[in-house]
Every structure is written in structure tokens, then in C-alpha cells.
Amino acid sequence: MARATALIILMSALLPVGALAKDTRFWNLTANTITSLQLSPAGKNAWGRNQADNDRDRTVDHDERLKITDTPAGIYDVKFVDKNGRTCVVPNIEVKEGLVFSIEEKNLKDCVK
């Protein structure tokens, strides 16, 4: 038992710190594929880059998770465009480093086409 514990500790020490950290992710629980996803600190209207570019096909399908980069923990407004051309803004979404945040269809109140 002591050998197994020592081996686990040694292996953990050899891994890069980034390998132990989990990615922050967005989980698309809307009805449609998202083609653009941007975040802004809540109430600032200062939209960041398109996070959908982090995905291999640059879209986020329904029930797909997307890695979020360059975004510290905080409260954000999230703006997205879906494949049907609908643009939605969802205010005050809490983003925690290393965790998953989601938007569901029932959260959508401010959308235009």
C-alpha cells in the first residue's frame, strides 16, 4: 500500500501543473448549434473574442461542451448566435475556473432574429 501511494505522489509531481487543472467549459443546452459565443463582464458590453473558434469545427452543437479560454472566473453576460441566425444575450452567468457553465433554452428571453 505504501508503494502505491508513493508511486501516485511521484507521478503527480512529474505531471505539468496544467495537466492537473480542469478546463472551464460551456455546455450548450439550447435547441440549436451555436456558431458564435462571446462573453463580456456583466453589464459592460465589452464582448471578447468568439470562443466557438476553440472548437475543431468552430461551432457548438446541442449538448456539446466547449473549452473556454482567456476568461477568468466572474459574472458574465453571454452573447451567442445560432445556426438559425438567432442572436441571444443571457445576462449574469457565473463562470468558475475549471467548471462547466451552461445555457438552456428556458434561459433565453432576449433573442432577436
**Residue 51 is assigned to a structural domain of this protein:** yes
The confidence score (pLDDT) of residue 103 equals: 98
Q: Residue 29: give its domain's CATH number.
A: 2.60.40
What is the residue range of 71's domain?
Answer: 22-112
pLDDT at 78: 98
Please report whether residue 11 resides in a domain.
Answer: no
> The pTM is what?
0.81
d(CA 98, CA 92): 18
Domain count within the chain: 1
Spell out the per-residue pLDDT of the chain, length 113, in tens.
666 544 455 455 555 544 457 999 999 999 999 999 999 999 999 999 999 999 999 999 999 999 999 999 999 999 999 999 999 999 999 999 999 999 999 999 989 99
Question: Does residue 9 fall inside a structural domain?
Answer: no
